Structure 1
């Protein structure tokens, strides 16, 4: 299991891009109860891990650019923003976020095929029973509920009930 956790971290780091695409992975706290404990506990744990990542990116890079003076969303707001998505949609969204700028789509961070391949490995590593979420509203990737204090943010997060992966891209116009 530690090897899988390390592999997950390595794969996600391949998808990161300085000051645009941020990633976090690790082990969920044991209080989340795994997927058999129900999705509410797992969702709360994913929201908390996402909130940690949002706080880090805000403090480290984005505080001076933030469009919302109150700062990033509270953990409860992050949880409310998360919508369930299918694994194949999670992989596609993760690949797009890792490869293409939200603000200026013609600007790319990495080759899309490579990003899609790595994102597919992340989804595969968490397994067929993994649960996935995004802050996109339904299937519309152009409509989202903000979780950072930035103009643009889109995230994808998943867990097998024990390990988790979060990827978020932020931007300002």
Structure 2
């Protein structure tokens, strides 16, 4: 028997505040990641073994590591198509997911910067209070896009 909850895939996009300096782009995007996590956190509290609070915006900022655009496409495709908890669970057709996220990366353009909470050798730094979370976020300095998947076993 499994008490596993369904995965939750969230997307947020928008415009950064006017005048966001390049060296503050990550801080602004991390704030949007934090806001998205805070928005969906109440949906997950009843499934969490120990209800904690999600990391602060500055802690989320510290978790985000740079990512190349092609890696962002692959990670977002996987997040849209596959369940973090059970990789054999299909959430969306992989080809459709790849087409969708490729359009997002092209929309932000070659000058966009991308980040994830995943580090070397598959390590992950939590951006939520869930057992499993994965985020890819990018910004061209004017607009941003975030794809987040949360999961609980």
Distance in 2 (CA, whole Å) between partners of 1:106 and 1:69 is 28
Contact 1:100 1:106 in 2 (8 A): yes
Tell whether 2:12 aligns with 1:30. no
Q: Secondary structure of the equivalent of 1:63?
A: helix
Deviation at 1:64, TM superposition (A): 1.5
- Is 1:42 aligned to residue 25 of structure 2? yes
Shift of 1:99: 0.3
Measure the CA separation in 2 of the matches of 1:101 and 1:135. Answer: 17
Aligned residues: 148
Deviation (angstroms), 1:70: 2.6
Q: Distance in 1 between matches of 2:80 and 2:111?
A: 23
Contact 1:67/1:149 (<8 A) preserved = no
Q: Which of these residues, 98, 115, 122, is aligned with residue 97 of structure 2?
A: 115
State the SS of the aligned residue for 2:29.
helix
Partner of 1:78: 60
Q: Does 1:62 align with 2:49?
A: no
Aligned to 1:53: 36
TM-score, normalised to structure 1, is 0.81
User: RMSD between aligned alpha carbons?
Assistant: 1.4
Aligned equivalent of 1:161: 141
Deviating beyond 6 angstroms after TM superposition, the runs of 4 or more aligned structure 1 residues are none
Change (3 A) 1:67 1:129: farther
Cα distance, 1:26 vs structure 2:
0.3
- Tell me the residue number matched to 2:3: none
Partner of 2:131: 151
What SS does the aligned partner of 1:95 have?
helix
Note the residue ranges of structure 1 that are not aligned, 5 or more in a row: 1-17
**Gaps spanning 5+ residues in structure 2: where?**
1-5
